[in-house]
Amino acid sequence: MSALADSPSGMPLRLSEQAASALLRALGAYLRSTPRRELPGALRRFHGLRQAALGSHAPQILSALDLEDVRARVSEYLQEGRPRRARSEAELLRVAVERPEGWMEKLESHGATPTATAIAEPPPRARESGQLVERERKKVEAARAGERRARERGRAVETASTRTIAALQDEVGALKAQVGTALEAEAEAQQRAAKLVDDKQRVERKRRRDLEEARSSEKDLRAKLKGVKRELAASRAQTKELERRLRAFERPNPGAPVRPAEPGGPRRPLAVPHGLFEDDPSTLEGWLGMTGVMLIVDGYNVSKHEGGFKALELEGQRERVIDEVGRLASRKKIVAIVV
């Protein structure tokens, strides 16, 4: 029996069942001993499968050896000496991944039963076909080398792009941080400005209230001043009237004897009648009946006395005192003065 696998030229490789099984066992050891994350993408889904389960996926696994990255990873695996397979299997896998001169013939001839045709010298047409295949193989290898270089350049460009993107992202992050700081400062400035405006408006409102209160107080004071002026004018008129009445009281009574003026000097206090006190009302009656006596009344103290006229206004109190003193003076026929 034999197995088929694609060659780089697209021609199928005729592997004997023994060669295909040996390659599959060697690759199975690689798949089971290598961490999944280190496997190439084409083989990663076969990680951990038992050897028996790999048989149903043999065409896909063997075809993956045509991929450059798969061969590179398997070659590193072989160089590290990690496989613990038979030496012949490891050597066969090395030929499949490193592909030295005549590698296809080595794979196809591995495990094949020698025949007379295989031992005999190939005919000329076969040699020409083999040379053509070798030239095509070299072309394919050259194309793969160019592809490998292109991938390497692509990886370099990708790495540089990644670094550039990371640097740009760092710059964008720094700019965002600066913008955030600027926005915070602007917000704080707006808050301070709004507070200043509020303070100014509050001060202006207080100034207007104070001005209105001052104007209102001025109006009240002007009204009170007018009232005081009116009261003062009325008081002056009343004073003139009272003075007129007082002058009428001070005129000498024609029937009363005129007491001659005494020379200057301190007056002697009047004698208190026998058996009376100085502040007794009967004492005042006796004094008022004496010849030439003059009554002088402190109008303010009289109006504020306990028996005075405190219920009346100041002008009313003065008028009441003057009226009462006037009647007393008329009754006693004496001169009375209210101060």
* Domain annotation covers residue 56: yes
State which of 65, 100, 120 marks the end of a domain.
Answer: 120
* Residue 222 in tokens: 């002007």
Say which amino acid occupies 278.
Answer: E
Domain that holds residue 299: 269-338
The CA-CA-CA angle for residues 163, 165, 169, to 5°, reads: 115
* Domain annotation covers residue 44: yes
Task: Using the CB atoms, write b or e for 152-170: b if 16+ within 10 Å.
Answer: eeeeeeeeeeeeeeeeeee
State which of 70, 101, 120 marks the end of a domain.
Answer: 120
From the list 301, 303, 297, the residue with the least C-alpha distance to 284 is 297
* Domain annotation covers residue 246: no
> pLDDT (tens digit, 9 = 90+) per residue, 205-244?
999 999 988 888 888 888 888 888 887 888 777 777 777 6
Average pLDDT, the chain: 78
CA–CA gap between residue 248 and residue 320 (Å, rounded): 17
pLDDT of residue 10: 43
DSSP character string of 10-30: SPEEEEEHHHHHHHHHHHHHH
Number of structural domains the chain divides into:
2
**How many H-runs (helices) and E-runs (strands) does the chain carry?**
11, 4
C-alpha distances (whole Å) from 310 to each of 74, 296, 297, 306, 337 are 129, 21, 17, 8, 21
Q: What is the dihedral angle through the alpha carbons of 257, 263, 265, 269, rounded to the nearest 10 degrees?
A: -20
From the list 333, 244, 248, 242, the residue with the least C-alpha distance to 295 is 333
**Ramachandran region, residue 338 (left: φ > 0; alpha: ψ -120 to 50; beta: rest):** beta
CA–CA gap between residue 262 and residue 260 (Å, rounded): 6
* 8/277: higher pLDDT: 277
* Residue 20 in tokens: 């295909």
CA–CA gap between residue 25 and residue 34 (Å, rounded): 14
* Domain annotation covers residue 28: yes
**Ramachandran region, residue 121 (left: φ > 0; alpha: ψ -120 to 50; beta: rest):** beta
* Domain annotation covers residue 130: no
What's the pLDDT band for 299 if we cut at 50, 70, 90? confident
Count CB-CB contacts under 10 A for residue 211.
Answer: 10
pLDDT of residue 205: 92
* Segment 130-136 long-range contacts (CB within 8 Å, at least 24 positions apart): 133/9, 133/11, 133/104, 136/9
* Domain annotation covers residue 243: no
* 129/50: higher pLDDT: 50
pLDDT surpasses 70 at 141: yes
CA–CA gap between residue 94 and residue 65 (Å, rounded): 11
pLDDT surpasses 80 at 84: no
pTM (two decimals): 0.33
Task: Find out whether 2 and 75 touch, Cβ atoms under 8 Å.
Answer: no
**If you average pLDDT over residues 153-160, what whole number do you get?**
83
What's the pLDDT band for 204 if we cut at 50, 70, 90? very high
pLDDT more than 70, % of the chain:
79
Residue with tokens 């050597």: 91
Give me the helix-helix angle, 124-250 and 68-79, nearest 10°. 100
pLDDT of residue 305: 72
State which of 120, 151, 175 marks the end of a domain.
Answer: 120
pLDDT surpasses 50 at 168: yes
* Domain annotation covers residue 76: yes
C-alpha distances (whole Å) from 25 to each of 2, 32, 47, 112, 126 are 16, 11, 13, 18, 32
* Domain annotation covers residue 325: yes
What's the pLDDT band for 198 if we cut at 50, 70, 90? confident
**If you average pLDDT over residues 187-212, what whole number do you get?**
90
Which one of 154-163, 257-266, 303-312 scores highest in mean pLDDT?
154-163
pLDDT of residue 256: 46
